[in-house]
Chain A
Amino acid sequence: MRTKDLVTTAISNTFRSKLRTTLTVLAIFVGAFTLTLTNAVGAGVSQYVDAQVGALGSPDVFIITQASDATAAGDGPVEYDASSSASVSSNQGPPGTTTKALTDTDLATIGDTAGIESVDPIRSVQPDYIEYDSGIPYEFSINATSAVTTADLTAGAQLDGGASEAQLVLPDTFVTPLGFASADDAVGASVSIGITDILGETHVVDATVVGVSLESLLAAGAGANDALIAELADAQSGGIDTAVTSYGVAVAHFDTALSADAVTALKADLATAGYTASTIEDQLGAVQTVINGIVGVLNAFAVIALIAAAFGIINTLLMSVQERTREIGLMKAMGMSGGKVYTLFSLEAIVIGFLGSAIGAGVAIALGSALSAVLSQGLLAGLPGLNILVFEPASVAFVIGLVMLIAFLSGTLPAQRAAKQNPIESLRYE
């Protein structure tokens, strides 16, 4: 029998017992539908997280603090040491956490570590408001690490760290209140930022909007380049040299060519030197682990549904083999080899699997896309940029392939039974 004939025969045999096939296909449908959706949720959420990671920082960046000196209970108070005991508030860890400050010496040490290309302290500035064209001023904050981050832009361009011009990436929620017609309209505009110095005097700094970003879940505030932050910091200090040479956090760039192992080694080097270095991935690792865990559990449920469906396939095909005993016997009597009979029944299983998975995936994509659109307008409107369901062609194809494989495996037992049938036994009269 030719392969083409085997396939067409298998397809037409599948439709011979319509009700039975439909029910089996339905069982597979449920599994494939669920698996496609859970995969899509996983893809959607990790895509969103990736965008958020981008908002937090580049992949070639360490966020460095002094190693935590939290003393273990029972060690007693630590003796004061003027050279190292200055603490600063830090955004690493729970609110209110303080870490030992990094001094210029520390920065030099870090900078000298092999593998680190540059190190910059993070200077935080607290602007009061932002206004455009002498309109209504709005309260405003700047993300201290924005100079090293990649914003999730809706318009314009990323900040240029090397530019001498003061640049700003505006959160898109500010676009309309400030009086811009659209995000594109805001790009290139000059806005004024008000900031109060340590003596209580208000200064105004002008900055150019170079981009508009989506609000990020993990990094609040506008983005400012080094030039703007320096200008604001100068304004904030009120012209007085506060001689603050201690910083809570520093940002270090390392060689992007480093392998994961080398990065780990570099971290260890810094740890021996007494610094805690963490990449953005480290900081988000926990979040991603949780998300992957949830998606994994959902996938497991879908696979359980598929295993249940697999028994459905076995049952259906066994019934089919039973029902078609005569037909199989006849085909074997007429010279069809056991191997071809096996192939025929395996193909029938695969056809059932394909039908169930293709319909399941198709319906999942149709329903999921509609649902995703509705959710992003409603329930999930607070998380701009989040498409809860992302259907990647590769993962949909993987689901269909997986279900067809499961179907093939389920078909082995019935197909073997059919292949082994003795034509005489099968054709014996009752």
Chain B
Amino acid sequence: MDSEWVIDAQGLEKSYGSGASRFDALKGVSVQIAPGETVAIVGKSGSGKSTLMHLLALLDEPDRGTLQVAGNDAKSLSKRAVNELRNKEFGFVFQQFFLTPNVSVLDNVILPLKIAGTGGKERRRRGMEVLEQLELADKAGNKATTLSGGQKQRVVIGRALVNAPRVIFADEPTGNLDTATGAVVEDILFDLNRSQGITLVIVTHDEELAARCDRQIYIRDGLVVSRTASTHTGAHALSTADALTAGGAA
């Protein structure tokens, strides 16, 4: 279905617990994401940014508010349809790698295809294609545990990419990496956006990474706030501007 937005969320609310321990994670957040866009969801831990991503990625259901994903109303979708949507349209990159140990790199990468029920030959072909793209083809047979951190995160990106998704959700994709490898991983993600038009939704508290995105959504205490409310110093803003140019050059 043609839609201006790949994701269109209006007035999302989500709370956990009840009574005195009730915690309102989101208090009415509206977010719209266009196809091919790169969007950063920025906020401190506990701000509700991860909850927002979970809702956008259909990993959780909002208490209130409407959510349209690729033209479908999320509420009207069956459980099966939601699973299929996540499997076919979304890719996930998490801060932690969540690679299956003692299983080869290739097998880790093709997991979404396996879940989708793609045939063995096609899985292998797609998996190798993605690994070649990420310059990991020579590691295809290695156990995932033998790789370095940067290589592992590249495998994770490969796994997110293998089903040719429309949107990749990345939750602190560089949080677990040193600056240099983190930068390489960022470059890969933005390059995928440019070359394949994959929409990127990046959850981060890293201003530099956020600044590389087309658009930033600042979340604070469960609400979308303006940038200034979230950042404190002009110097910080300056450094993000530097990063932006650096990212463009990379």
Contact = CB atoms under 8 A, between A and B. Distances in A.
Interface of A: 1-2, 5, 9, 12, 16, 326-327, 329-331, 333-337, 340, 423-424, 427, 429
A424 B87 contact: no
Contacts of A424: 54, 59-60
A335 B54 contact: no
Given A337-B79, A423-B59, 6 more contacts: A1-B114, A2-B117, A331-B111, A334-B86, A335-B112, A429-B95
Would you list the 3 A-B pairs with minimal beta carbon distance, nearest first?
A335-B87, A335-B83, A335-B86
Contacts, number: 56
B94 A1 contact: no
8 contacts: A1-B114, A1-B117, A335-B83, A335-B85, A335-B86, A337-B80, A424-B60, A429-B96
Interface residues of B, number: 27
A326 B88 CA distance: 21
Interface in B55-86: 57, 59-60, 79-80, 83-86
Nearest to B111: A334
Contacts of B92: 330, 333-334
Given A1-B117, A9-B114, A423-B59, A337 B83 contact: yes
Given A424-B59, A424-B60, A335 B116 contact: yes
Contacts of A334: 86-87, 92, 111-112, 115
Contact of B94 (A327, A336, A337, A427): A427
Main secondary structure of the interface of B (DSSP, over half): helix
Contact of A333 (B59, B102, B120): B59
B23 interface: no
B230 interface: no
A336 to B, nearest CB: 5
Contacts of B112: 334-335
A430 to B, nearest CB: 9
Interface of B: 54, 57, 59-60, 79-80, 83-88, 92, 94-96, 98, 100, 102-103, 111-112, 114-117, 120
Nearest to A6: B114
A312 B19 CA distance: 41
A336 B115 contact: yes
A423 B60 CA distance: 9
A329 B60 CA distance: 13
Contacts of A326: 96, 98
A331 B92 CA distance: 11
Given A330-B98, A336-B83, A337-B80, A1 B115 contact: yes
Contacts of A335: 83-88, 112, 115-116
B211 to A, nearest CB: 24
Contacts of A427: 94, 96, 98
Nearest to B172: A429
Nearest to B79: A337
Nearest to A336: B115
A11 to B, nearest CB: 13
A326 B57 CA distance: 17
A9 B115 CA distance: 11
Contacts of B79: 337
Contacts of B87: 334-336
A137 B83 CA distance: 91
Q: Which of A330, A336, A337, A340 has the most CB of B within 10 A?
A: A330
A359 B116 CA distance: 35
A400 B88 CA distance: 40
B57 to A, nearest CB: 8
A2 B120 CA distance: 10
A421 to B, nearest CB: 12
Contacts of B102: 16
B114 A333 contact: no
